[in-house]
Amino acid sequence: MSPTIRAATPADRPAIERIVHDAYVGYLPRMGKKPGPMRADYAAVLATRRVDVVEEDGAVVGLVVLEREPEGMLLENVAVAPEAQGRGLGRLLLDHAEAVARAAGCTAIRLYTHVTMVENIARYTRAGYLETGRADADGFDRVFMAKSLG
């Protein structure tokens, strides 16, 4: 069965929390602390952000968290369960995020990641995102990236 994307519901929270944990736990040794997505209160995130999930065979295997900003859309988090990685689901979620941003009238989408997440930086670069800066933000060494949707 092909993957489908739908709006997340509060019932998806346990799956979302598991996916985020499993997708980010490998970065703990590099960063020396929990990455931002592992610190989030997903009950609050589900209540205040747009959260969409991707399902395969009825199981939630990935998610994307988006937040509308005055200047565009923030792609706050994209995560795929490790057992589902390598099948194009991350790219599917990125494309979905960009489509949501365009439908909302945004001309750009931005994101940030940690400097130690070099695989993600390369992945976002391949998807057309350009680095716009680096800075310490909220105690994290972040790389800021953006993509024009025009």
The answer as to whether 48 is a domain residue is yes
The answer as to whether 50 is a domain residue is yes
The answer as to whether 68 is a domain residue is yes
CATH number for 48? 3.40.630.30
Check residue 31 and give its pLDDT: 86
Q: What strands, in cross-sheet order, belong to the sheet with 130-137?
A: 4-7, 50-56, 59-69, 72-80, 108-114, 140-148, 130-137
Whole-model pTM: value is 0.94
Residues contacting residue 74 through CB under 8 Å, at least 6 positions apart: 66, 67, 68, 109, 110, 111
The answer as to whether 149 is a domain residue is no
* pLDDT tens for each residue of the chain, 150 residues long: 799 999 999 999 999 999 999 999 999 898 888 989 999 999 999 999 999 999 999 999 999 999 999 889 999 999 999 999 999 999 999 999 999 999 999 999 999 999 999 999 999 999 999 999 999 887 888 999 999 997
The answer as to whether 54 is a domain residue is yes
Domain limits for position 23: 4-107
Number of domains comprising the chain = 1
